[in-house]
């Protein structure tokens, strides 16, 4: 047993460059092994994973059942009312132990944590989003150190704070206190912890606790680079003028040299004499003929591997490296014919923002593997997105998220983590907020993907529109209102923008999303906007055409997850959208009824559960897709469309386009087509069908516009081919035709108009299909799908055809897990479509059986 423990201790990973020959080099040691945990007051210590969380550790130890299965969530609410203890034992290397300075760094503790080392309390923490550092030189031993982290219940502490509070805060609508068995006691606002952990209208309620980011020891003798910011100052074709802004912690007044490196190339050197303590040092340098970083779809994402290094007596003692991108990003707010613009300009080029809102990928944050991050970000890129909004009720994401966005060209609209609430304004709380903002701005500012900082999600909107101000004035008086709104102003108009200014500099700060809901009426003349008339207001999808803000940062519509996902959290007896289990995996107060109401407006009622799920996907894709097209067509006014929401944090009916298990819903396939650099969008206006073509490209593009009117049997009734020049970065009408003229040639309920933009090399830049009536009024035939399968092992091609139109053909492949290059598409009569299927597992070709669903069958 003792041997095992020793082995574990040896396994504690050493990184950095420790060696006997270079005793001066700084050292880092991770403390992620040998952890155990227990409920406070109990005696048995169980194995734990660090970083991790209590719920996941309980699950791994088989103390609780799978939290997402059926109604289990409701039985697991006791966990957040308890305190939990984590501990580990570790040795340190002699060379580390001998360093003059030794500090312990906690990159993320969730949330109220008391840390002790060898029986001495070394730290008290109260903010999940902060990095905590403490000097441990005097408490550390060479062998058998005991590190303990006591995590107190955020609920117990929240309840204590609530009891003492004189003001009654507006109830945060998404704090699901009833599920938490707290009645109407909503305590989320008192704790600096991810808002969605308390529940949301797409999330479960699991108020997690634990050590959620790594713990490490840093040890050094003379000096240490605490931080470096590679700040871009000026940019021309010839050079990027940069400053390396270093924060150096010196142990004594020392002379040393700083080198700024690009990979192995020395860009500049500077000799410095540092004073004892913290030193801010600026080292100017240049990157000659810089290659520019572009958003996805507009160019490459070259990254420079820059390091700052310190040398003493020609010996390197510390290094900090960041991959940076050279680009300019501005937000242009200029007076124009509509009011005031709001758009992103990258490298001098106006960029239409295409993308989605992003939430954390799991409630249990360490269950999100690097592969999952890669998959989600790659899915956004594959769907031709160029922007994600990291929404304010989740977390400031992990390094890997931003690194992937840097590498793949996704711009990030970065909210600070405040959402749908008003917060306490006492000094300690505000100081905590300030330190949180400093930690995170410093952590993220080297990433080229971060395009904008935003103070909060919908807090200002709640104040004015949801009626918080009015209700509270009536119930609690003007003084309380002044106090509360005073805190609002301090947080989002002083503390956060001051942090951005001081620690980042030029990156744009936007106080709240949306800003255009600040007044008594919605404002479509300036700022960004969240449009929820569709869904919450039950307004028609057609309103996406008329509600046209300057930048649409949220809008959306729900669907169920796909059947294979539903099967993972249900039993066959739950296969009814109104069963207890399906209702519990639906968190919008108006959820399933609203899906049904919209569905019946356009579709015949599906007759079975599986078809119901399928039609909900098509409905969502058609509705949100209608919005995407409308926003892009109106790009002279509206320069961004970010639908709500890309992903899920558990298996649930939600607004997501990709479900918890990574399944692309129809909306993600639609987005891929509708976000292409060139979009053809036929649209009816005053009896005319106008063929709009929108381009995001930097250059004009010659192409062919092909229009085909056909019936559902494939008979071509009319055709038009025109050579066109698609103007760069624009949206225009390229062809117009009277709808009635077309309908003289073919019946309204059995015809479609296909519009294609074809490039000179024969490739299709964009294709879109226009129907003359709602799906429920169309006269479909039964379509028999013929298919051929090619390939083997993990990569297959399916060649599909049908003599009759198959609308929104949905392909499933039994229990074979894998990815289809397209799905939910219209298979036109007489056309052969080839799609690919890739699987992680080897599959025998003969075992592949395709099944189909289509709107024809309703
Ligand atoms: C938006 C978001 C979330 C919410 C979503 C759906 O306004 O900011 O708060 O989940 O609507 O209701």
Per-residue model confidence as pLDDT tens digits over 730-741? 999 999 999 999
304 C-alpha to ligand 1 centroid (Å): 37
634 C-alpha to ligand 1 centroid (Å): 24
12 C-alpha to ligand 1 centroid (Å): 42
What local confidence, expressed as pLDDT, does residue 260 receive? 98
What local confidence, expressed as pLDDT, does residue 494 receive? 98
What local confidence, expressed as pLDDT, does residue 6 receive? 39
How far, in Å, CA of 398 to CA of 759, rounded?
40
Pairing of strands 786-801, 819-820: unpaired
Element (H, E) at 6: helix 2-11
Residue with tokens 């129809």: 666
Ligand 1 near 587 CB (within 6 A): no
Q: Residue 111 domain-assigned?
A: yes
Q: Which of 777, 796, 826 is the last residue of a domain?
A: 777
Ligand 1 near 200 CB (within 6 A): yes
Give the position, in ligand 1's atom list, of the atom nearest the Cα of 535: 12
Instruction: Report DSSP state, residue 658.
Output: B
Coil/strand/helix, residue 343: strand
Residue with tokens 């479909």: 780
Does 369 lie in the same domain as 430?
yes
345 C-alpha to ligand 1 centroid (Å): 27
Q: Residue 579 domain-assigned?
A: yes
Give the position, in ligand 1's atom list, of the atom nearest the Cα of 174: 9
Cβ 453 vs Cβ 416: under 8 Å: yes
Domain coverage including residue 703: 678-777
* Cα distances (Å, whole numbers) of residue 305 to 230, 240, 246, 322: 11, 15, 16, 6
Ligand 1 near 358 CB (within 6 A): no
Pairing of strands 353-358, 387-390: parallel
**For 286-317, how does the pLDDT look when each residue is reduced to its tens digit (9 = 90+)?**
999 999 999 999 999 999 999 999 999 899 99
**For 353-374, how does the pLDDT look when each residue is reduced to its tens digit (9 = 90+)?**
999 999 999 999 999 999 999 9
How far, in Å, CA of 79 to CA of 179, rounded?
13
Q: Which of 185, 216, 247 is the last residue of a domain?
A: 216
Does 486 lie in the same domain as 428?
yes
As a whole number, mean pLDDT of residues 633-656 equals: 98
Asked if pLDDT for residue 520 goes beyond 80, the answer is no
Does 257 lie in the same domain as 309?
yes
Q: What angle do CA 352, 355, 357 make, to 5 degrees?
A: 130
Indicate which CATH number applies to the domain containing 240.
2.60.40.10
CB neighbours (10 Å) of residue 274? 21
Element (H, E) at 693: strand 688-695
Give the position, in ligand 1's atom list, of the atom nearest the Cα of 588: 12
β-strand partners of 343: 332
DSSP character string of 81-146: GS-EEEEEEE---HHHHT-SEEEEEES-EESEEEEEETTEEEEEEEBTT--EEEE-TTT--SS-EE
Q: Which of 744, 777, 810 is the last residue of a domain?
A: 777
What local confidence, expressed as pLDDT, does residue 3 receive? 38
Q: Residue 43 domain-assigned?
A: yes
Is the sign of the CA dihedral 812, 813, 814, 817 positive or negative? negative
List the structure tokens of 372: 């999952």
As a whole number, mean pLDDT of residues 202-224 equals: 96
Coil/strand/helix, residue 845: helix
pLDDT band at 796 (very low <50, low <70, confident <90, very high): very high
Cα radius of gyration (the chain): 29
**For 419-436, how does the pLDDT look when each residue is reduced to its tens digit (9 = 90+)?**
999 999 999 999 999 999
Q: Residue 337 domain-assigned?
A: no
Atom 8 of ligand 1, nearest CA residue: 457
Ligand 1 near 557 CB (within 6 A): no
Asked if pLDDT for residue 525 goes beyond 90, the answer is yes
Does 173 lie in the same domain as 129?
yes
pLDDT band at 253 (very low <50, low <70, confident <90, very high): confident
Does 390 lie in the same domain as 298?
no
Asked if pLDDT for residue 15 goes beyond 80, the answer is no
How far, in Å, CA of 211 to CA of 131, rounded?
12
Q: Residue 344 domain-assigned?
A: no
What local confidence, expressed as pLDDT, does residue 678 receive? 98
pLDDT band at 18 (very low <50, low <70, confident <90, very high): very low
462 C-alpha to ligand 1 centroid (Å): 12
Does 699 lie in the same domain as 646?
no
What local confidence, expressed as pLDDT, does residue 220 receive? 94
Angle between helices 609-633 and 591-602 (to 10 degrees): 80
Asked if pLDDT for residue 71 goes beyond 50, the answer is yes
Q: Residue 714 domain-assigned?
A: yes
Does 665 lie in the same domain as 713?
no
What local confidence, expressed as pLDDT, does residue 274 receive? 75
696 C-alpha to ligand 1 centroid (Å): 28
As a whole number, mean pLDDT of residues 205-218 equals: 98
Element (H, E) at 623: helix 609-633
C-alpha closest to that of 109 among 150, 160, 155: 150
What local confidence, expressed as pLDDT, does residue 252 receive? 74
Indicate which CATH number applies to the domain containing 435.
3.20.20.80
Which of 356, 514, 517, 554, when mutated, tests ligand 1's pocket best, judged by the most ligand atoms within 8 Å of its CB? 554
Cβ 379 vs Cβ 665: under 8 Å: no
96 C-alpha to ligand 1 centroid (Å): 48
Does 482 lie in the same domain as 613?
yes
Q: Residue 330 domain-assigned?
A: no
Ligand 1 near 530 CB (within 6 A): yes
Asked if pLDDT for residue 8 goes beyond 50, the answer is no
List the structure tokens of 303: 């990254």
Residue with tokens 């599986």: 610
Asked if pLDDT for residue 16 goes beyond 70, the answer is no
> Does the global pTM surpass 0.85?
yes
**For 767-788, how does the pLDDT look when each residue is reduced to its tens digit (9 = 90+)?**
999 999 999 999 999 999 999 9
Residue 714, sorted as left (phi over 0), alpha (psi -120 to 50) or beta, turns out to be left
Does 82 lie in the same domain as 38?
yes
% the chain with pLDDT above 90: 92
19 C-alpha to ligand 1 centroid (Å): 52
Indicate which CATH number applies to the domain containing 93.
2.60.120.260
Asked if pLDDT for residue 22 goes beyond 60, the answer is no
Number of domains the chain contains = 5
Does 726 lie in the same domain as 818?
no
Does 821 lie in the same domain as 732?
no
Does 552 lie in the same domain as 529?
yes
Pairing of strands 353-358, 640-643: parallel
As a whole number, mean pLDDT of residues 532-555 equals: 97
Q: Residue 853 domain-assigned?
A: yes
């Amino acid at each position: 047993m003792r041997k095992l423990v020793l082995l574990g201790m040896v396994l504690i990973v050493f990184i950095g460059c420790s060696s006997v020959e270079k005793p001066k080099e700084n050292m880092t040691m991770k403390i992620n092994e040998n952890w155990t945990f227990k409920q406070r007051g109990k005696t048995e210590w169980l194995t734990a994973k660090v970083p991790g969380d209590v719920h996941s550790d309980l699950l791994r130890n088989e103390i609780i059942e799978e939290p997402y299965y059926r109604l289990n969530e409701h039985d697991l609410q006791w966990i957040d009312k308890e305190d939990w203890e984590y501990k580990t034992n570790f040795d340190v290397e002699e060379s580390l132990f001998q360093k003059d300075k030794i500090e312990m760094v906690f990159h993320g503790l969730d949330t109220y944590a008391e840390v002790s080392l060898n029986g001495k309390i070394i730290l008290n923490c109260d903010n999940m989003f902060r990095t905590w550092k403490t000097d441990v030189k005097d408490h550390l031993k060479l062998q058998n150190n005991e590190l303990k982290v006591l995590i107190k219940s955020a609920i117990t502490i929240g309840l204590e704070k609530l009891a003492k509070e004189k003001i009654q805060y507006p109830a945060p609508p998404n704090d699901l206190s009833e599920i938490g068995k707290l009645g109407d006691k909503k305590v989320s606002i008192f704790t600096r912890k991810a808002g969605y952990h308390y529940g949301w209208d797409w999330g479960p309620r699991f108020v997690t606790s634990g050590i959620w980011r790594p713990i490490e020891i840093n040890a050094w003798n003379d000096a240490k680079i605490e931080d470096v910011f590679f700040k871009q100052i000026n940019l021309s074709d010839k050079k990027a003028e940069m400053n390396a802004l270093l924060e150096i912690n010196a142990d004594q007044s020392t002379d040393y040299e700083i080198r700024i490196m690009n990979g192995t190339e020395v860009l500049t050197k500077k000799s410095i004499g540092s004073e004892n303590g913290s030193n801010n040092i600026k080292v100017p340098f240049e990157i000659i003929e810089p290659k520019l970083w572009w958003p996805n779809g507009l160019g490459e994402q070259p990254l420079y591997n820059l390091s700052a290094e310190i040398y003493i007596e020609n010996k390197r003692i510390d290094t900090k490296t960041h991959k940076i991108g050279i680009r300019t990003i501005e937000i242009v707010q200029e007076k124009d014919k509509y009011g005031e613009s709001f758009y992103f300009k990258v490298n001098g080029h106006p960029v239409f923002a295409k993308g989605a809102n992003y939430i954390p990928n799991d409630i249990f944050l360490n269950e999100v593997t690097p592969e999952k991050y890669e998959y989600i970000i790659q899915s956004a890129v594959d769907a031709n997105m160029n922007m994600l909004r990291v929404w304010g009720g989740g977390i400031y994401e992990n390094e890997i998220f931003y690194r992937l966005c840097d590498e793949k060209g996704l711009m990030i609209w970065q909210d600070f983590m405040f959402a749908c609430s008003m917060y306490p304004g006492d000094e300690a709380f505000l100081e905590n907020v300030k330190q949180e903002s400093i930690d995170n701005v410093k952590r993220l500012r080297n990433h080229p993907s971060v395009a904008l900082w935003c103070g909060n999600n919908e807090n200002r909107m709640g104040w004015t529109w949801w009626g918080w101000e009015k209700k509270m004035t009536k119930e609690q008086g003007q003084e309380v209102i002044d106090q509360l709104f005073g805190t609002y102003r301090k947080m989002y108009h002083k503390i956060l923008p001051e942090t951005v200014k001081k620690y980042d500099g030029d990156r744009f700060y936007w106080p709240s999303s949306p800003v255009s809901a600040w007044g008594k009426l919605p404002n479509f003349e300036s700022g960004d906007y969240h449009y929820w008339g569709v869904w919450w207001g039950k307004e028609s999808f057609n309103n996406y055409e008329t509600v046209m803000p300057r930048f649409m940062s949220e809008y959306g519509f729900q669907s169920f997850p796909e059947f294979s996902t539903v099967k993972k959290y249900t039993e066959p007896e739950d296969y009814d959208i109104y069963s207890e289990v399906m209702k519990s995996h639906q968190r919008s107060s108006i959820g399933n009824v609203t899906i049904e109401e919209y569905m019946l407006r356009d579709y015949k009622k599906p007759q079975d559960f599986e078809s119901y799920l399928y039609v909900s996907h098509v409905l969502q894709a058609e509705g949100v897709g209608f919005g995407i097209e409308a926003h892009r067509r109106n790009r002279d006014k509206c320069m961004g469309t970010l639908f709500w929401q890309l992903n899920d944090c558990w298996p649930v009916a939600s607004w997501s386009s990709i479900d918890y298990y990574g399944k692309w819903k129809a909306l993600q396939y639609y987005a891929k087509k509708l976000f292409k650099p060139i979009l053809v969008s036929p649209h009816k206006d005053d009896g005319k069908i106008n063929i709009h073509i929108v381009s995001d490209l930097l250059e004009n593009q010659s192409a062919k516009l092909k229009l085909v009117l056909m019936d559902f049997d494939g008979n071509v009734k009319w055709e038009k081919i025109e050579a066109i020049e698609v103007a760069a970065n624009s949206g225009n009408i390229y062809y117009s035709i009277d709808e009635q003229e077309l309908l003289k040639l073919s019946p309204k309920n059995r015809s479609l108009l296909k519009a294609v933009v074809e490039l000179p090399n024969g490739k299709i830049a964009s294709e879109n299909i226009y129907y003359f009536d709602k799906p429920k009024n169309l006269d479909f035939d039964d379509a028999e799908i013929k298919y051929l399968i090619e390939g083997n092992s993990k990569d297959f091609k399916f060649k599909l055809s049908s003599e009759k139109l198959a609308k929104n053909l949905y392909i499933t492949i039994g229990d074979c897990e894998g990815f289809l290059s397209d799905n939910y598409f219209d298979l036109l009569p007489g056309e052969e479509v080839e799609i690919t299927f890739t699987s992680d597992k080897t599959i025998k070709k003969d075992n592949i059986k395709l099944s189909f669903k289509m709107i024809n069958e309703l």
